[in-house]
Amino acid sequence: MASDRGLTIGFPRMYNEPGERRAFLPPLMGLLASMECDVFVEAGSGAGMGFSDDDYLAASPRVRIVDEATAYRQDIVVVLRAPEGRYELLRRGAILLSMLHFTTRPERVEMLGRLGIEAIAIDMVTGDDGRRLVQNLRDVARNGLAAAFDALERRWPPLLSPMRSPISVTILGAGGVGKHAIEWAAKCGDEARNERFVREGLAGVEVVVVEQNLSGDEAYFRRRLAQTDILVDATARRDTSRPLFPNAWLGMLPAHAIVCDLAVDPYLLDDDPPVVRGIEGIPQGNLDQWEFGPQDAAWDRLPPGIPTAQRRTVVSCYSWPGVQPESCMQAYGAQVTPLLKTLIWYGGLPAIGPNGSFHGRALWRGSLRHWLGEDPIA
């Protein structure tokens, strides 16, 4: 049944991996229902974060608990991560808001266009200044650096010695993620560990930031990496078809060093041009496993032809914010709220173009129509 405004909104669950516990929270459902929209939430959505179906129902009489297929049959479908294998559950002409990554997923773009889905890549929804409106870069850096320091503490006993030198962290990239990486590296990954190190009289952290224009300078990196305890990839590469950091260079790091992967680019070798990882030859993690020692079998599962001879312990997670799911979804819920309000006010995507309201313009920039170079209907 459609809402009084002619739109219904579905919130399916995410099944990307068993460790994925995130879902949009009940307050968002109540807010959307207050705009005279019927909201359809897949059963069990909040269970991984301790929310029951009754918590969602309590948000409004217009919230329904439904099965997966029903959640996907609504006018607007909102799911944080791209729902691989489920696109055909959407109706032709339905609006899908998700992290769709048009730039690095050409096959996904082709499928969405073929199915007639009005897709909006929320990772590409930007303000007039080009900055993303839906992102959680601080949690990417915080959770990634916390995992790196956790691994270093467990795997390198001298970390807890009052005789050691300051911890040396080298960060590749000084953009949105890199700025937060500097903050959390300086805090030893989290404030509790930082306070404990201060109480115990342990030396603090030295943070060195390296921009991409130094990426090919082997002599520089030989000196820099020799004294690096944690190497952080926080780059947003201009060219994803080539690594910034050859696998051979990992051998310049001390044996105890940790590689902290915050960029988490995939290997898409069949694409044209291909997509490769910024630090060559390291595994990509997820919410089921984000730490990989040098002997982990994940190294041997990388695509054939990718060099992996040089190995160090790696922490990598495709969804770093999901390590702390509730705080993550509070942030994402606040960020998608004005976008959903705008879609409701406009009555859907067809009336949205490049000359509308601030959030209307932002939605247009993230739309599949804009990506394909199509003119707005309105």
Per-residue pLDDT tens digits for 36-62: 999 999 999 999 999 999 999 999 999
Q: What is the mean pLDDT of residues 300-316?
A: 95
Q: How far apart are CA 114 and CA 106, in angstroms?
A: 12
> Which structure tokens are listed for 157?
């006993």
Complete DSSP assignment for 161-228: -TTSPPEEEEEE--SHHHHHHHHHHHTTTSHHHHHHHHHTT---EEEEEE-GGGTT-HHHHHHHHHT-
Beta strands at 258-261 and 8-11: parallel, antiparallel or unpaired: unpaired
Question: Beta-strand (E) ranges in the chain?
Answer: 8-11, 38-42, 63-66, 76-81, 95-99, 118-121, 167-172, 205-210, 230-233, 258-261, 291-292, 313-316
Ordered strands of the 167-172 beta sheet = 205-210, 167-172, 230-233, 258-261, 313-316, 291-292
Q: What is the mean pLDDT of the chain?
A: 93
Amino acid letter, residue 363: L
Its pTM stands at 0.84
Q: What is the mean pLDDT of residues 5-23?
A: 90
For residue 203, the tally of other CB atoms under 10 A from its CB is 14
Q: What is the mean pLDDT of residues 217-221?
A: 93
Residue carrying structure tokens 């780059």: 235
CB of 318 within 8 A of CB of 101? no
Q: What is the mean pLDDT of residues 196-210?
A: 96
* Residue 377, pLDDT score: 47
Residue carrying structure tokens 């959407």: 90
> Which structure tokens are listed for 122?
């929320």
Residue carrying structure tokens 């996904």: 108
User: Does 3 have pLDDT greater than 70?
Assistant: no
* Residue 344, pLDDT score: 95
Q: What is the mean pLDDT of residues 254-282?
A: 90
Amino acid letter, residue 113: G
Which CATH fold topology does 137-316 show? Answer: Rossmann fold (3.40.50)
* Residue 375, pLDDT score: 61
Q: How far apart are CA 64 and CA 71, in angstroms?
A: 9
* Residue 106, pLDDT score: 87
Q: What is the mean pLDDT of residues 101-121?
A: 93
CATH of 8-124+325-371, one of 3.10.20.600, 3.40.50.720, 3.40.47.10, 1.20.140.70: 3.40.50.720
What is the percent of the chain with per-residue pLDDT over 90, rounded to a whole number? 83
* Residue 169, pLDDT score: 98
User: Does 244 have pLDDT greater than 70?
Assistant: yes
Beta strands at 313-316 and 291-292: parallel, antiparallel or unpaired: antiparallel
CB of 93 within 8 A of CB of 338? no
Q: What is the mean pLDDT of residues 223-241?
A: 92
3-state secondary structure of 275: strand
> Which structure tokens are listed for 171?
């960060």
> Which structure tokens are listed for 144?
């990634």
Residue carrying structure tokens 């300051």: 166
Q: What is the mean pLDDT of residues 226-234?
A: 97
Residue carrying structure tokens 């990839």: 233
Phi-psi region of 112 (alpha: psi -120 to 50; beta: other; left: phi over 0): alpha
* Residue 376, pLDDT score: 53
Q: In the chain, list all ranges with CATH 3.40.50.720.
A: 8-124+325-371
Q: What is the mean pLDDT of residues 116-136?
A: 95
The secondary element (H helix, E strand) that includes residue 369 is: helix 368-371
* Residue 124, pLDDT score: 96
* Residue 378, pLDDT score: 41
For the ranges 19-33, 68-82, 164-178, 347-361, which has the lowest average pLDDT? 347-361
Q: What is the mean pLDDT of residues 194-211?
A: 96
- Comparing 149 with 264, the larger pLDDT belongs to 149
* Residue 4, pLDDT score: 45
For the ranges 4-13, 147-156, 338-347, which has the lowest average pLDDT? 4-13
* Residue 196, pLDDT score: 96
* Residue 33, pLDDT score: 96
For the ranges 9-18, 109-118, 305-314, 347-356, which has the lowest average pLDDT? 347-356
User: Does 239 have pLDDT greater than 90?
Assistant: no
CA triple 308-306-173, angle to 5 deg: 80
CA 378, chain centre distance (Å): 32
Q: Which backbone phi and psi does 131 adopt, to 5 degrees?
A: -85, 140
- Comparing 55 with 268, the larger pLDDT belongs to 55
Find residue 118's DSSP bridge partners.
Answer: 95
> Which structure tokens are listed for 302?
């990388």
